[in-house]
Amino acid sequence: MRKLCNIVDKQTPLTLPPDTSVQSACTQMRDRRTGSVLITDENNALVGIFTATDAVCRVIANGKNPAELTLADVMTPNPVTMSPEKPAIDALRVMWDGGFHHVPLTRSGEVVGVVARSDFSGDEHERLARERNLWEHMR
């Protein structure tokens, strides 16, 4: 069974401070080809996450100006995190149950990566579907 650390091996996640403008964050997300940015404080501790979905739903669709907003204004504070030593399927379960697409990975408080639903193999998605189907039939 694959571990999360195998997915983020050699990954350098995009991290930015909370006072970064949404426009700057989105530009960096585009340039890095990533769907999320992890927001860290002055001690590099994770304080939030901002995703492409947040950009659409919390900024653009609401008619807000991304140049005038900071990440602190629109981030999801205190996101669910996981250890990179956990099995990959555990993160997929957490994302499904929580209704989100990204999970930051931390080790001893340090950000080591981020996984997205798209990082998982077909086998992992199929396993989760089988589990969910079984639970539905047990209810």
In the chain, what are the domain boundaries? 4-138
Residues 43-47: contacts with CB under 8 Å, at least 24 apart: 44/15, 44/110, 44/111, 45/109, 46/79, 46/81, 46/104, 46/106, 46/109, 46/111, 47/18, 47/75, 47/77, 47/78
Could you say which architecture CATH assigns to the domain 4-138?
A: Roll (3.10)
Residue corresponding to tokens 């995703």: 51
Segments of the chain with pLDDT less than 70: 121, 124-125, 127-139
Q: What is the pLDDT of residue 75?
A: 97
> Mean pLDDT across the chain, nearest whole number?
89
Predicted local confidence at residue 26, as pLDDT: 97
pLDDT at 98: 92
**What pLDDT score was predicted for residue 55?**
97
pLDDT at 117: 84
pTM, to two decimals: 0.84
